[in-house]
Structure 1
Amino acid sequence: HPWETVLYGCTWPYGKPGFQTELLVPSDRFDSISGGVDHGISAAIVNNVDYGNAFVGHYNAGDIQYANHASIDNNNLIYWKETKNFANGCSAHITGGYYAKGNMALPDQGTFIIEDTTFGDDVILEANHHCNVGTTGVLCMPQYVLHNVKWKNKNSGKWIWFQGMNFQEHNANQNHGGIFTLSPTAIADITHGQANKDEMIFPSGYVSLVSSKFTYLLSLPNNVCILSAIEYGTRYDGGILCKVPLRALKIYTRDITSGSAPSLHIDVWANSLGVHGQIGDADASQDIFFHQIGRDGTSRKQGFSFPVIPGQTYSYYVSLNTGDKVIPNSWVIEFSDPVMGNRWGAEQIQLAVEGRDCGIDGLVSSQHDRRFLWSGDEYIDDSAWGNHGACVSNSSPPPDMPTIDCSSNQGLIGPTECPDLCPVECDNTNSFCHCGTATCQCKPGFSGIDCSVDLCAAARCSEHGKCAARYLGSSSILPVTNSDSACICDVGWSGPLCDSNPCAVQGRDCLGHGTCHAASERDTVCICDEGYSGENCEATCDGYCQGNGGVYPYSCATNIEGVVAYQCGPTGGCAYQTDPAATGPGGFCTYKSVKVNNDCECSTDSDCM
């Protein structure tokens, strides 16, 4: 459809490797999975551009990487309900991307890494999209890891939000989970003063965010976590900001119903003495309530989950609010994710579980066993209960997952190819073996019978431009000898080679309330931040309009089809003008204006895309 980009299919750890058009097929049973390991095939969607769509993405999908993806002005910049980690043990779900003007509907379950990606204006990150609507989702506690992410969203409204509505007939609904956290490398950069504070998603000194529901974090010593609403309003949905990394601890249960389920109790000590130092009153405690996907009997996905702090400072004690407090041996416990160790080094939590054995000193590694734990709608294989996961109490606890070295490519996935199918070896520089045709096909930017014609050889783009032929596919024969159409310029740059920056020449900064863009090789225009207007973004309605506490959007709308001017009143009220010539009610302030004609005039082909 012209209004959506949807990928149907997924690659969960099935018995038969490969892409499937359904989450599971009846003939694909767990007894065909060798050793309970991941049988997915990691693949990438590369250099895709989505603009003005409704949905971009899919429902349940694993092993799919979006590489160099640009998604702008879509209702959902990404739409994803459930995912898993990559079979290769390394890859990020999103890498090298650019997202602006829309909602990032992020999925549940697997650790979701976003790396080398820029977020522009009007982006909102949504945790656990669709979790516990129908039978979607699992325990609603994914880890969203931000690695080398540039946050350039200047919108003063909401940046991140957590689920809060219950779509079930019962109250066993804890879909407010989800952890947003910086990668260990990004945290180290902050510690050593190497991070650009103007491009950070969190306030200075903070590295993680969770829902306000996990109140035990606020009781920890030294104000290691704070309630964001006190200082940062609605930006973080009133969540809890922490100065330490957070990871997910999940306990998968079975055969419990929503009406009779006990709650889970957690105690935390912050004395750096490990589980042997769990003496006296805990520094923080909380009851975690039971979570169940769907109505009773409609889904096997149920259990408990909450954020924890890895490392040596904090130790956790977990028990049930029942008479004996014992966590049944059959339940499966999971901490963090092996991809964290594969990418940045193994992490540990100090954990004591009532009735279970978590090993020497209660140290549980992010690399602990996970065999048979997850396979889409089939959930957990029967052989996993009591035998796999962390803190397994039997005579032969399972070994950790195999260590995977991610240093060579950091999880980047190249074009899907099948070199064994082609009768002749393809030149990896400019071609690849196409899995469907079993022939050598040209990579984007190359052409000719043997793919020897480099369409970008004469482009000569500066470091601020990209050769257009690299994005137009192998079927494109772009006349790059015409320098006016060879390069696509980065924002702010212009000219045939993308080497002209009139904003820098003019020193135009839009008064710090907008971004200067090149309209041509000589002319510039300010694109104002929300809440500001005027030729140089000098006008604002803050403090004049009283709605929403006197800050944008003043309890008014921000996106109505056909409206060209959005206005607010000094004592409340909103007005929306569809006629560019209309002035609106007297005394009303214009807080947002929209161009009627968005066509740009270009002195060369390189200035517009």
Structure 2
Amino acid sequence: MMHCITSLLVIIFTLTKSSLAVQCNTNPCILGAGFSPPAYQCLQVPDNFNDVICTCPDGQSEINTPCRVCNKVNCGPNGVCIEKSFYESLFYACGCTNGSSIYIHPGPCPDANPTTPAPGICFNGGVYNTAAGICICQAGFSGPYCEISPGQTNCQNVVCANGGVCNSVATIENGVDQQCSCLDGFSGSNCELVGVSGRCTPDLCQNGGICEEKNNGVTSYAFCRCPSGIAGQCCQTPYFSCPAPGIFADSTNCKYGRYFQCAGLNLSTLSCPRGLRYNFMKMRCDSDVSCPI
């Protein structure tokens, strides 16, 4: 008799627990329209099946309730938050006024008092750093919530241009590396360099570009490696120069994880680890960053 009562209590507890569970398939994060993956996501908490995490593209999150960037933005007393990817790594803009006209501002209006973001949620043993506003992940894990395991990071975010294919290659230094195998006529770490048939000539690479050759049997190609802020097959197109000291987006090479650093007016290119891109909201390399098309 006691065994039957115990079994009944277990069944009642299980049914009650299931009825209270929140699951992503019921759309508690209200995904859809402008709030769709991968920018907005629903994540089932791995160690607690009763809860879900609703994420925002700026790295914020909510438990069992929709996450919206503008819910955590203080545009100011006269500002209005507009939720849309206006800028490469900023997922909102503020409609501000200067008294005579209304303008769009990338961030809170000048008269706003910034609010402190809510503490984050970190998976896989990650610890939330309140001062930095980021998750500190255990070795091998990555992502804004440490949700990406080592096995997931191989080639999924590595962009190989011009028909190149990413392969995970064992190395002595770090165990594994993601390398792009390029088609004939293309080169570079992401197959982004387009070759010119033939050999290097003195006037092939413009604006300080450096020429290098690759031979495939009897076929030769010349490739131009361009200085920072210069693009084009022959480095013929300047597209960025330093407006001021600081860190800036590289709109042309963002998808390869590259960004600019300006020391005074001296321009240099920095690169994130393979598969990551620079998140200007968090000032770090991250796995959840969109780039201009």
Q: TM-score range by the shorter chain?
A: under 0.3
Q: Which is bigger in relative contact order (C-alpha 8 A, separation at least 6)?
A: 2
Question: TM (normalized to structure 2)?
Answer: 0.26
Question: TM (normalized to structure 1)?
Answer: 0.15
Greater C-alpha radius of gyration: 1
